[in-house]
Amino acid sequence: MNRESRYALLVVIVGACVLHAQSVGRITKHPLGQPWVTKAENGLIISWLNSRVDVVERGETDDPEAGRVDVFDERGGSIASFNVLRLVEGARGVSIYDASSRPGGIIAVGAVYASKDRGIPPAASLLVFDSSGRLLSAYALADARIVKKLAVDKDSNIWTLTDNFRDTEPSTAPMVVEYAPDGKEVRELLPRSVLWSHGTPKEGLYLGRVTMGCGNGVAWIWLPGTTELVTISTSDGTVSVVQTGLPRREKHKEDPLDVVREPAGDAVGAFREDGEDGKSEIAYYAWSPSTRAWSRFQPGACDGDRLLSVSDSGQIYHDRQGNICLFRR
C-alpha cells in the first residue's frame, strides 16, 4: 500500500470522529495509578486508559473504559471526562500517546486508532475538545506527523513532538510541528538530522522517558539518551538546545525516571540511584541553566514519590496509590 493510499484511509477512519461524536456523561473519579497514564500541567491533572494491546491484536472487545480521558484540578475535582474510542464507530482499539490542556482552554489529544477492518492500517489523529470534553475537531495525521508528545500553549496553539524516532525515518522529517487551535499547521521545526546531531534520544528503562511541556512563553522537551533540553519560543519559534547531562554521585549510578522543566528555567528530575553496595533509592536533583550543574534537594513530604510534572504551584508528585503531593523549592 503506497503512502497516498494509506493517508486516504487515515482520513476515512478519523473523519468518523466528527460524524459519530457523542456526549459522554461524568464518571466517578478513578485512582491515579496503573494501568492509567497520568500527567500534571498548568494546574491540571490529566489521566487516560489505553486499549490493551493483546486484546486489540486478538480482535476481541476492548475494556469499556479504554480510551477514557479524565481531567481534574490539582485538588482532584473533576473538570472533564470523555472517551475517544467511542467516538470512532469503526475502531476496535486506541492508543493515546499524549494529552494536554490549560484551565478553561482546549484539551488536545494525540491518538492512534486500530480499525475493526484489519485491512486498514492504524490511523493517527490529533483531536481537539473544549474544556468540558466536547469534541471540536479531529484531524488525520500522515506518518511524519504522528504525535509522540504534545503541549498546549497560552494561545491554545498545540506543540507536538513527532514520533520520528526510528532510524528508517527521513532525515528531513520535522521533529516538532506547531498547530493552531483550528488544526492548521503553523510551522515545522527541527528536522530529524538536526535534533539528532548529537546522537539518538532513545527511551528505556535505564535511560528515562521523553517529557514535554509549555509555560512562560516556552515549549520545552527533555530527551533521554542525549540528555538534551530543547526550548522553543512560542512567539517566534527560536530554538535552543543544551545538554544537561546527568547528576553524578560518587559510587552511585544515576538512571533518570522523570525530568521536567520549571517555569523559571531550571530542570528538576527524579533519579534512581544504584549504589555499589547494591542498595537503590530515589534521589531528586535540580539543574541550573546558569551553572550547568545538578544539585540535590529533598522534596519534603513528597520524598519517595514519583515526579509527575511542575506548575506555577510547584512540583507535583504522586505515590503508588495515586495520591498527589505538591512541593515548592
pTM of the predicted model as reported, rounded to 2 decimal places: 0.87
296 in a domain, yes or no? no
Instruction: Tell me which residue range forms the domain holding 106.
Output: 1-141
Q: Which of 111, 121, 118, 185 is nearest to 149 (CA)?
A: 111
Taking only the tens of pLDDT, the chain with its 329 residues reads 344 433 433 444 444 443 333 222 222 344 444 478 888 899 899 999 998 876 666 666 557 789 999 999 877 889 999 999 999 888 888 999 999 999 999 999 999 998 888 888 889 999 999 999 999 999 999 989 999 999 999 999 999 999 998 888 889 999 999 999 988 999 999 999 998 887 777 787 778 899 999 999 999 999 998 999 999 999 999 999 999 999 999 999 999 999 999 989 999 999 999 998 888 999 999 999 999 999 999 999 999 998 989 887 889 988 877 788 889 88
Q: For the chain, how many structural domains are there in total?
A: 1
Per-residue confidence (pLDDT) for residue 9, from 0 to 100:
38
CB 163 within 8 A of CB 122: no
Among 293, 204, 215, CA closest to 257 = 204
Q: What is the pLDDT of residue 56?
A: 65
- The rounded distance, in Å, linking the Cα atoms of 149 and 266 is 20
Return the exposure string of 6-24: e unless at least 16 CB atoms fall within 10 Å of the residue's CB, then b: ebebbeebbbbbeeebeeb
Domain-embedded: residue 231: no
If 0-12 CB within 10 Å is exposed, 13-18 middle and 19+ buried, where does residue 104 land? Answer: exposed
User: Is residue 14 included in any domain, yes or no?
Assistant: yes
Instruction: Classify residue 243: in a domain, yes or no.
Output: no
- Whether 257 maps to a domain, the answer reads no
How many degrees, rounded to 5, is the angle at CA 94 between CA 117 and CA 10? 55
| pLDDT (0 to 100) of residue 7 | 40
Kindly state whether residue 41 falls inside one of the protein's structural domains. yes
Residue 143, Cβ density class (10 Å: 0-12 exposed, 13-18 middle, ≥19 buried) = middle
What number of CA atoms fall less than 13 Å from residue 287's CA on the CB side? 23
| 62 found inside a domain | yes
Whether 206 is in a domain gets the answer: no
Strand-pair partners of 285: 269, 296
Q: Looking at residue 219, what is its pLDDT?
A: 97
